[in-house]
Amino acid sequence: MKKIAVLTSGGDAPGMNAAIRAVVRTAVFKGMEVYGVRRGFHGLIKGEIEHMDVKSVGEILHRGGTILNTARSDQFKTEEGMGKALNILRVFGIEGLVVIGGDGSFRGALDLSERGFPTVGVPGTIDNDIACTEQTIGFDTAINTVLEAINKIRDTVSSHERTNIIEVMGRDAGDIAIYTGMAGGAEGILIPEMPLNIDNLCRRIIEGRNRGKSSSIIILAEGAGKAMELERIIEEKTGMETRATVLGYIQRGGSPSAADIILASRMGYHAVELLENNIGNRIVAIRENRIVDFDIKEALSMPKKFNQELYDLAQVLSI
């Protein structure tokens, strides 16, 4: 394979630029031509494709977001949209595609693969909700961003002897909440994978107060509820002044951590190696610190397990 392209799709994530850089520079190193597609599948349909070289990805390693921009595309999900995309790839003579994104993006990658176009997915999303990989690009940076916010909120809740319920992203997964709740010493962690029991949570807050804890922090995964709605309920049930914080989009930005840059670089390199050997229809993953790959359909059918051990440990250590 001598001519490939790369695109970013879905929610952006810190480290995506490191993955783009790895794809471009590995391709150039291997004597391949490489093209960047702007705005994900939306841009692919419109032919927003530009040749890339070593210089195109200079000085982007430290930048969050994606230099190729990203977008969600309903048109790509239609036969007509898919046909236009395949036509554009043919017109440019592109033989393989790297898709950096989350599960929605990988369904697009599967559609292309099923139509005979070699496509490789690289898991880039802060949600860490791609079952085939132990970690997704962006997750490590996002949890460190959240931890910084928790520590700042810890100052004010202890000054006012309050409870603060902090809503974090993650879509339908609780990983951001579990990892940051653990690292931030939260008194409670509410995730979509566990039944929401407000009375149990309020009892923990009251028991903590009776043991001398004058303030509490609760981490709420967005898939488990709305902080603004739970704020009043918790205050009424515990009698403690309660405030809500919705962290929102700061979790998607920022300079990627070293861990994310290294993960993204390793995954991007592996994706190009697969295409170089005419292997498509794969999703790159990390398992026990080894970079591996799975059939896209198989990967998308794997059940997402949440980290029960970490969740349980966090409950013990935050008594």
Binding site for ligand F6P (CB under 6 A): 11, 102, 125-127, 169-171, 222, 252
Q: Which is nearer to ligand F6P, 167 or 187 (CB)?
A: 167
| Rounded-to-integer distance, Cα 13 and Cα 271, Å | 18
The residue whose two tokens read 């490590």 is 140
Can you state the percent helix, strand and coil of the chain, rounding each to 5? 45, 20, 35
Q: Which is nearer to ligand F6P, 17 or 215 (CB)?
A: 17
Per DSSP, 11 falls in state S
Q: Which is nearer to ligand F6P, 252 or 266 (CB)?
A: 252
Residue 48 CB coordination number (10 Å)? 17
Nearest Cα to Cα of residue 106 among 140, 83, 131:
131
| Rounded-to-integer distance, Cα 159 and Cα 62, Å | 35
Q: Which is nearer to ligand F6P, 9 or 164 (CB)?
A: 9
Closest residue to ligand F6P in the complex (CB): 11
Q: Which is nearer to ligand F6P, 110 or 126 (CB)?
A: 126
3-state secondary structure (DSSP) of residue 19: helix
Give least dist CB 119 to ligand F6P, A: 20
3-state secondary structure (DSSP) of residue 109: helix
Give least dist CB 285 to ligand F6P, A: 18
Read off the amino acid at residue 162.
R
Give least dist CB 137 to ligand F6P, A: 12
Q: Which is nearer to ligand F6P, 175 or 187 (CB)?
A: 175
Give least dist CB 141 to ligand F6P, A: 12
Give least dist CB 42 to ligand F6P, A: 13
Q: Which is nearer to ligand F6P, 46 or 171 (CB)?
A: 171
Give least dist CB 251 to ligand F6P, A: 7
Read off the amino acid at residue 136.
T
Give least dist CB 39 to ligand F6P, A: 14
DSSP β-ladder status, 96-101 and 3-8: parallel
| Rounded-to-integer distance, Cα 319 and Cα 315, Å | 7
Helical spans, DSSP H, in the chain: 16-29, 40-45, 79-91, 103-114, 139-160, 175-183, 198-210, 227-238, 258-276, 296-301, 308-317
57-83 burial: b if 16+ Cβ within 10 Å, else e: beebbebbbbbbbbebbeebeeeebbe
| Rounded-to-integer distance, Cα 2 and Cα 33, Å | 6
Give the active site residues: 127
